[in-house]
Amino acid sequence: MLASEFSEMKVYAVGMEFIGKVKDLVVDPVKCLLTDLVVELDSDAAKRAFPKRFGAGKTRVRVSISLIDRIGDAIILKFSRDQLEGNVKRI
């Protein structure tokens, strides 16, 4: 799979709950390995994950590749939408 194919790919939590789209990839330059996806959350997912810090701007988070269940036409994560805050790092 090419890196360009990840651009704007939809990301879903368990149960096919849409959470956002891939905006970038994080690569460890020393190990030459993909480590994280940068995902721009949709507004509902951002409000649920960060209710006290939700603002008008776009919310982007890093999602470790270890939390990906599968990749096909979309990316499916190993956790539910309600577990978003505990599994991602806001950037």
The total of structural domains in the chain comes to 1
Tokens of 60: 């982007």
Task: Tell me the pLDDT tens digit for each residue of 10-53.
Answer: 999 999 999 999 999 999 999 999 999 999 999 888 888 777 76
Looking at the predicted structure, is the pLDDT value of residue 68 above 90?
yes
pTM for this model (two decimals): 0.89
Dihedral sign (CA 64, 66, 67, 71)? positive
Q: Given pLDDT bands bounded at 50, 70 and 90, which one contains residue 2? A: confident
Enclosing domain of residue 31: 3-90
Over the stretch 42-55, which tens digit does the pLDDT of each residue have?
Answer: 988 888 877 776 55
Phi, psi at 45, each rounded to 5°: -65, -40
